[in-house]
A = this chain, B = another copy of it.
């Protein structure tokens, strides 16, 4: 048993869905969440910048006593997971592998589509994860950067969103994938539009998989805390417009303890 909090970070507030999933299973764990909203979005930044931001995020969580670091951001996991695992003595896990594992268990024809930010797709992180998990899948990646902005604009079922989705998803449909990984925290909000185009295939939203993986790993390492108070502390590097309203949509409950924090980089 370890009474310290779990540390979770993301480039923004979308990673609060992972907090929600963890709480569904282990409501007593204390959680510190850090959203680097001052640098948001990560998906269009350089690899070097994201590594620098990710190290600063993890350092902050460790300085606050995190017993376990979770990278809820796909772009950050894509380029910084290995580096953080080497750099920190606490365990670090990311959002890529749990989703890949689930997709590998669902596909029948071995053709898995992955949609994400330009950075996530170009990094090849999913191909690497499938290989490391010994899953002989053909991974078809497609960068969908406009999905992020469309979700932030709240155009979840606007005709323009459907037109953008048709353009982005056409090559995956033509390639007859039978499983689609939603490789960005924002994309599950577009599930209805995506399903309208892709039809009755398998869909993987890694937040749920990551939530389950966190709980499993905590127990395995005897780091769990069944008697905690279930306190959630949310730190953001910027209080951007409507952050509370949008954050509560992802978290699924009221945001009580939230703070603005400066990490002193860039």
Which residues between 242 and 264 of chain A lie within 8 Å of chain B, taking CB atoms? 262-264
Q: Which residues of B contact A40 (CB under 8 A)?
A: 44
A45: Cβ under 8 A from any B Cβ: yes
Residues of B within 8 A of A164 (CB): 160
Interface status of A118 (Cβ within 8 A of chain B): yes
Contacts A158-B167, A167-B158, A167-B160; A238 near B38 (Cβ below 8 A): no
A105 within 8 A of B: no
Q: For residue A152, which residues in chain B have a CB less than 8 angstroms away from its CB?
A: 44, 145
Beta-carbon contact of A46 and B241 below 8 Å = yes
CB distance from A178 to the nearest CB of B (A): 27
A263's nearest neighbour on chain B, judged by CB, is: B266
Q: How does the 8 Å CB contact mask read for A143-182 relative to B, with 1 for contact and 0 for none?
A: 0011011101101001110011001000000000000000
What is the total number of residues of chain A having a CB less than 8 Å from a CB of chain B?
Answer: 36
Which residues of the partner chain B approach A49 to less than 8 Å between Cβ atoms?
A: 38, 238, 240
User: Which of B37, B46, B119 is in CB contact (< 8 Å) with A239?
Assistant: B46
Q: How far is the CA of A40 from the CA of B38 in the complex (A)?
A: 9
A265 is an interface residue with CB less than 8 A from chain B? yes
Provide 28 A-B residue pairs closer than 8 Å at the C-beta atoms, listed in order of the A residue: A38-B39, A38-B45, A39-B266, A44-B240, A45-B238, A45-B240, A46-B240, A46-B241, A48-B238, A49-B238, A118-B241, A145-B152, A146-B146, A146-B150, A148-B149, A158-B167, A160-B160, A160-B163, A160-B167, A163-B163, A237-B266, A238-B266, A262-B265, A262-B266, A263-B266, A264-B264, A264-B266, A265-B266
Point out the residues of chain B lying under 8 angstroms from A265, CB to CB. Answer: 262, 264, 266
What's the minimum C-beta distance from A158 to chain B, rounded to whole angstroms? Answer: 7
Of all chain B residues, the one with the shortest Cβ separation from A243 is B46
A143 to chain B, nearest CB (A): 9
Q: How far is the CA of A49 from the CA of B263 in the complex (A)?
A: 13
Residues in B neighbouring A145, C-beta threshold 8 A: 149, 152-153
